[in-house]
Amino acid sequence: MVKKHSDIAFSEAPVRVSEWRRFRRVFFERRLVTFGLVVLVLMLIAAIFAPLLAPYDPYELGPGERLLQPSSKHLLGTDLLGRDTLSRLIYGARTALMVGFISVFISGIIGIPLGVIAGYFGGITNMVIMRAMDALMCFPMLLLALVLAAVLREYAISGIWVVIIALSVAVIPGYARVTHGVTLSIKENDYILAQRAMGSSNMRVMFRHILPNAFPPLIVLMTMQLGALILAEAGLSFLGIGIDPPGAAWGAMVFDGYKYLASNPVLWLAPGIAIALVVFAFNTVGDGLRDALDPRLRGLL
Amino acid sequence: MTTYIIRRLLQALVVLILVTLIVFFVMRLLPGDPILIYVAQTAELERMPQEEIDELRAEFGLDKPIMVQYANWVAGIFRGDFGTSIFYREDVGTLMRDRFPPTIHIGLLALIVGAVFGVLAGMVAAVRRGKWLDKIVTPLTYVGLTIPVFLLGILLIYAFGVKLGWLPISGYTSPLDDFWLSTRQVIMPVFCLAVFGLAANARQMRSSMLEVTRQDYIRTAWSKGLRERVVVMRHMLKNSLIPVITLMGVSVSIILGGTFLVETVFAIPGVGRLMVSSIFGQDYVVVQAITLIFAVIILFVNLIVDISYAWLDPRIRYG
C-alpha cells in the first residue's frame, strides 16, 4: 500500500511542476505583463510600508512651505497647505488599494454565488437573477456609484466606506454574468452528472465542484476589475466623493492640483500618472493571467 | 427573426420595469422622511410646522401606500412630469431640455469618432500586423483603455489650451449660435469621451480582422486575384465588423458615465455637471430623473445592438 501510494505521488509530481512552469513561461512572455507586475508589487510595498517610506507626515501642514516646486527637500513639491506631495502620493496608494481590494471582495461574495445559482438551476431562478443583473447593468458604473454614494452619505457613513459600498454594488453584475456563463458550460460536464448520480446535494455540487472549476476566469475578472474599481474610485474622489480630508486620495489630489494647472503641473500630474499606471498594471497583469490560465477566455474577458 | 425580436422586446420590458423600481426605491433608501426628496434640506424641514408637512405629504401623494406612490411616479414620467427641482425652482422636464443638448452633441460626436476611427485604426493594425504602424497603434489602445478621462482632459487643456493656445480651455457654445467657436470648444471633450471607445473598438477590430483573415473565403478572394483594397474592404471589413457592433452598448455606457467627469473638467453646462451639482445640492428629484433617463438610454441602445446583431448573424437568433 505504502509503496503504491508513493508511486502515484512520484508520477504526479513532474506534471504539477511543468504546469507551473508553463504558467510562468506564458505569463512572463510579454514584457508588458512583467512591467505591470513590477508596478503592482512596488505599489503594494508603498501601501503597506507607507509610514516608513513617506519622507514626511502626509497630514502635517507646512505654513512656510506652500506650493513649493520640486526640489531635493520635497521631491514632488508641496501643495497649497504645505503638505509634501510625495508623502501624500504614497499614502494615496493605501486608499486606492484598500477601496479596490475590499470592493472586489464584497462584490465577489455577492455576485459569484448569484451567478452560480442562476446558471445551475436555470428556469425561473435564472430569469429573476439575470434580469435583475441586466437592470443593474443599465446604470453606468460611475452613475450608480454617485447615486448610491449620495444616499449612503446621508447615513453619516465614513467617506471611504460610502465609496466601497457604492462601487461593490456597481460591479456585482459583472461577476454574476461571468460566473453564470462559466457555470452553464461546467454543469454539462460528466463529473457533474456523476456527482448528481451519487446523490450529492445541489449545494455540494455548486460550491465544491462547479465553483472551483470556475476560478480561472474569476481570477482574471477580479484582476481587471481591480483596475476598473481604482479608476472609478479616482473619478469619484475627483468629483469630491470619497475619503474625508485630510486623507489622501489620488483623484482628489488631481482635482486640488488642477487649480494650479500651469504654475504647478506636478501637483496634478503626479497623482494622475499614479492612477493611470496602476490601472494599466492591473489590466496588463489581468491579460497575462488570462493567457496563462486559459487562453480560450480571449474575447470573453 | 420576428420571434427573436418579440422575445427580446419582452425581456427589455421586464428590465425596464426593474430599472424604474431600482431608481424609485434607491431614492427611498434616503434616511428620514421621503418628503425630503421633494422639499428641501433637513434643516429647512425641521423648522416647518407639522401641519405644513402633512399638507405637503398629501400634495405629493406620500400618504398613500408605497406601491401606489410608485405607480403614480411612473404614470407621471409617462406624461413627461419629472417633478420640480428644489434648487432651480423649475420643472425638471424643462431643465432637462435645457441641459441635454450639449451632452447629446458631445456624446454623439464621441460615439461616432470612437466607432469610425477605432475601426479604421484596428483595421490598419491588423492589415499591417507586426509592422511599425501596428506597433504604435496596439500599445496606444492599452493606454486609451486605462487613462483616467479627467487626467486626459487636464493634459489636453495644459497642452493645447495653456501651452500652445490653440483651443479654448472650457465652456460650451451651441453650434447653431457660433459654429466655429462651438467646434473649437468641443474638440477636446469629444476626444476625451471618445478615447475609450476608440481603443476598445480598435482592439476588437484588430483581433476580429485577424480571425477573419484566416477564413477560407478570404483565401478564395485572394486566389481569385482580387486587389488588396477589394479583399480588405469588401470581404474582411464587413465580416469583422459584426463583433465590433456589440461594443456600441458598452461605449454608450462609458460615454454617459464619462460625462460627469468631462463636463466638470471642461465646465460644460450639460446633464453630467447638473447631476454632480444636484448630488451635492441634495436636489434628489433631478438626480432621480437623470438616473432614470441615462438607464433607459442604455437599455434602449442595448436592445438595438442585440437586434441588429441577431439580424447580421443568424446564429444568435437561435442561441
Residue A98 has which C-alpha cell? 484598500
Determine, yes or no, domain membership for A78.
no
Question: Tell me, what amino acid is at B278?
Answer: S
Domain contains A272: yes
| Domain-embedded: residue A4 | no
Q: Quick check: is A45 in a domain?
A: yes
A65-110 pLDDT tens trace = 666 677 767 667 777 776 778 888 888 888 899 999 999 999 999 9
Q: What number is the ipTM of this complex?
A: 0.85
Per CB-CB distance under 8 Å, the chain A contacts of B86 are none
How does residue B84 score in pLDDT terms, banded at 50, 70 and 90?
confident
Query: Rg of chain B's alpha carbons, rounded to an integer?
Result: 24
CA nearest B276 in A: which residue? A239
Q: Is B91 helix (H, G, I), strand (E, B) or coil?
A: strand
Q: Which of B143, B162, B207 shows the shortest C-beta gap to A299?
A: B207
Angstrom distance (rounded) from CA A73 to CA A75: 6
Would you give the distance in Å from CA A41 to the centre of its chain?
Answer: 14
Which residues of A fall within a CB distance of 8 Å from B275?
A: 143, 146
Provide the pLDDT for residue A173. 92
Here the contacts of B25-29 (C-beta below 8 Å, separation 24 or greater) are: B26/A147, B26/A148, B26/A151, B26/B291, B27/A151, B27/B284, B27/B287, B27/B288, B28/B66, B29/A151
Q: How far is B186 from chain A (nearest CA, A)?
A: 20
What band does B218 get if pLDDT is binned at 50, 70 and 90? confident
Interface test with B, best of A124, A143, A278, A296 (most B CBs within 10 A): A143
Query: Is the per-residue pLDDT at A1 higher than 50?
Result: no
B219-259 pLDDT, tens digit each: 888 888 888 888 888 888 888 888 788 888 889 999 999 99
Chain B closest-CA separation from residue A272 CA (Å): 6
A1 domain-assigned: no
The answer to whether residue A259 is domain-embedded is yes
How far is B109 from A86, CA to CA, in rounded Å? 39
Q: Bridge partners of B91?
A: B84
Q: Which chain A residues have a beta carbon less than 8 Å from that of B149?
A: 235
Cβ distance of A147 and B291 shorter than 8 Å: yes
Please check the confidence at residue B40 and state whether its pLDDT lies above 70: no
Instruction: Please tell me the total count of domains within chain A.
Output: 1
CB atoms B256 and A140 under 8 Å = yes
The tens digit of pLDDT for each residue in A15-66 reads 555 677 777 777 777 788 888 899 999 989 988 887 877 777 777 666 666 6
User: Which amino acid, one-letter code, is at A265?
Assistant: P
Distance of alpha carbon A186 from alpha carbon A118, whole angstroms:
13
* 3-state secondary structure labels for all residues of chain A: CHHHHHHHHHHHHHHHHHHHHHHHHHHCCCHHHHHHHHHHHHHHHHHHCHHHHCCCCCCCCCCCCCCCCCCCCCCCCECCCCCEHHHHHHHHHHHHHHHHHHHHHHHHHHHHHHHHHHHHHCHHHHHHHHHHHHHHHCCCHHHHHHHHHHHHHCCCCCHHHHHHHHHHHHHHHHHHHHHHHHHHHHCCCHHHHHHHHCCCCHHHHHHHHHHHHCHHHHHHHHHHHHHHHHHHHHHHHHHCCCCCCCCCCHHHHHHHHHCCCCCCHHHHHHHHHHHHHHHHHHHHHHHHHHHHHCHHHCCCC
As to burial, measured by CB atoms within 10 angstroms (0-12 exposed, 13-18 middle, 19+ buried), residue A63 is: exposed
| Stated pTM of the model | 0.86
- Closest chain A C-alpha to B64 CA, distance in angstroms: 23
* Whole-number Å distance between alpha carbons of A278 and A270: 12
Mark yes or no for CB contact A138/B143 under 8 Å. Answer: no
What CATH number did the domain enclosing A182 receive?
1.10.3720.10
Instruction: Tell me the percentage of chain A whose pLDDT exceeds 70.
Output: 87
Kind and range of the H or E element at B58? helix B50-59
Q: What is the mean pLDDT of chain B?
A: 85
Q: Please, where are the H alpha helices in A28-158?
A: 31-48, 50-53, 85-121, 123-137, 141-153
Sequence letter at residue A276: A
Q: What is the mean pLDDT of residues B164-179?
A: 83
Query: Based on the number of CB atoms within 10 Å of its own CB, is B37 exposed (0-12), middle (13-18) or buried (19 or more)?
Result: buried
Confidence of residue A2 (pLDDT cuts 50, 70, 90): very low
Tell me whether residue A115 is in a domain.
yes
Average pLDDT over residues A126-142: 91
Taking an 8 Å cut-off on Cβ atoms, the answer to whether B261 and A235 are in contact is yes
Top residue of A32, A147, A157 to mutate, by most chain B CBs within 10 Å, is: A147
Give the mean pLDDT of B182-211.
90
Question: A92's torsion region: left (phi>0), alpha (psi -120 to 50) or beta?
Answer: alpha
Choose the mutation target among B27, B138, B150 for the interface with A, i.e. most A CBs under 10 Å: B150
Dihedral over Cα of A253, A254, A256, A262: its sign = positive
Task: Point out the residue among A139, A276, A299 whose CB comes nearest to the CB of B148.
Answer: A276
pLDDT tens-digit map of A251-283: 888 888 888 887 888 888 889 999 999 999 998
CB pairs < 8 Å spanning A and B: 134
Print the domain residue range for A160: 26-54+84-298
Beta bridge partners of A78: A84
Q: What is the pLDDT of residues B111-127, one digit of tens each?
A: 999 999 999 999 888 88
- Asked if residue A243 belongs to a domain, the reply is yes
Instruction: Provide, as residue numbers in chain B, all residues whose Cβ is less than 8 Å from the Cβ of A138.
Output: 15, 19, 295-296, 298-299, 302
Asked whether A283 and A227 are in contact (CB, 8 A), the reply is yes
Residues of B in contact with A261 (CB under 8 A): 154, 157-158, 162
Report CB contact under 8 Å: B294, A139.
yes
Q: Say if CB B166 and CB B212 are below 8 A apart.
A: no
